[in-house]
């Protein structure tokens, strides 16, 4: 069940779930407010709770408005790009041979055919990000399969608009946002664990939170780091 609460010019989306406590979130990129509430909780009680948190809500929305936003990538020489949380400068080289993407010192070398346009540069770089993310995710998945006693049958890596990851428990598959290759490695491991945890618990309920706390005590820090990342072409998981 879903409902809405209006607090002046702030709309609060209320989602009723099989949980014990109320969870309030202010989500990037635009500060949308969400409350997850126990199924039997009265909407008026939730409204009173939201009003009590109004100062905090507005503070979080201000932080998001002030947050840095990424400028659109133009794929030019010496343009800044990120790999595993570190800044690199793009170096474009044209060649008929040895086409590909390589890391060299503090540069991402993009070597491509002479007639390549911006779309080609973008597609090559995005394909490279997908590949390095897939390579980095495999040992993490193997690690957590052993610890959790679950099995991931298939892993998909793609650009996602609204989430850092997702899980299909029935198919035992997880999906990872290729943008994670730009973030610190610890963020990737958090998302891998988060999605694999859904093979044990489908819902973001108290049991899910307790399992996350047991296996990764600092998972909230990793979540916050992702949510506080520069906005623009990034995705988020709120």
pLDDT digits (tens, 9 = 90+) for 32-58: 899 999 999 999 999 999 999 999 999
Helices 118-148 and 206-215 cross at an angle (nearest 10°) of 90
Query: What average pLDDT does the chain have?
Result: 89
Separation between Cα atoms, residue 77 and residue 28, nearest integer Å: 30
Q: Which two tokens stand for residue 28?
A: 């990037």
Residue 231: pLDDT band with limits 50, 70, 90 = very low
Residues of the chain with CATH 3.30.2010.10: 80-227
Residue 235: pLDDT band with limits 50, 70, 90 = very low
Q: Tell me: pLDDT of 232 over 50.
A: no
10-28 tens-digit pLDDT = 999 999 998 888 999 888 7
CB 34 within 8 A of CB 25: yes
Judge if pTM exceeds 0.75.
Answer: no
78-125 tens-digit pLDDT = 999 999 999 999 999 998 888 999 999 999 999 999 989 999 999 999
By C-alpha distance, which of 60, 45, 72, 68 is closest to 10? 60
Q: Which two tokens stand for residue 1?
A: 């069940």
Quickly tell me which residue has 């949980």 as its tokens. Answer: 19
> Which CATH class for the 80-227 domain?
alpha beta
User: Mean pLDDT across the stretch 157-169?
Assistant: 88
Strand partners, 237: none
């Amino acid at each position: 069940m879903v409902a809405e609460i209006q607090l002046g010019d702030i709309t609060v989306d209320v989602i009723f779930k099989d949980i014990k406590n109320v969870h309030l979130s202010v989500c990037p990129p635009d500060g949308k407010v969400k409350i997850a509430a126990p199924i039997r909780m009265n909407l008026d009680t939730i409204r009173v709770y939201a009003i009590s948190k109004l100062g905090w809500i507005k503070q979080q929305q201000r932080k998001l408005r002030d947050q840095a936003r990424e400028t659109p990538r133009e794929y030019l020489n010496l343009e800044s790009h990120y790999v595993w949380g570190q800044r690199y400068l793009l170096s474009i080289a044209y060649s008929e041979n040895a086409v590909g993407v390589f890391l060299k010192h503090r540069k991402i070398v993009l070597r491509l055919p002479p007639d390549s346009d911006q779309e080609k540069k973008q597609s090559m770089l995005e394909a490279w990000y997908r590949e390095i993310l897939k390579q980095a995710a495999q040992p993490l998945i193997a690690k957590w399969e052993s610890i959790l006693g679950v099995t991931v049958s298939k892993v998909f890596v793609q650009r996602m608009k609204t989430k850092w990851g997702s899980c299909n428990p029935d198919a035992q598959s997880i999906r990872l946002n290729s943008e994670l290759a730009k973030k610190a490695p610890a963020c990737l491991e958090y998302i891998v664990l988060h999605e694999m945890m859904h093979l044990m618990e489908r819902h973001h309920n108290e049991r899910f939170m307790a399992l996350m706390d047991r296996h990764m005590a600092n998972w909230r820090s990793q979540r916050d780091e992702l949510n506080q990342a520069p906005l623009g072409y990034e995705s988020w998981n709120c």
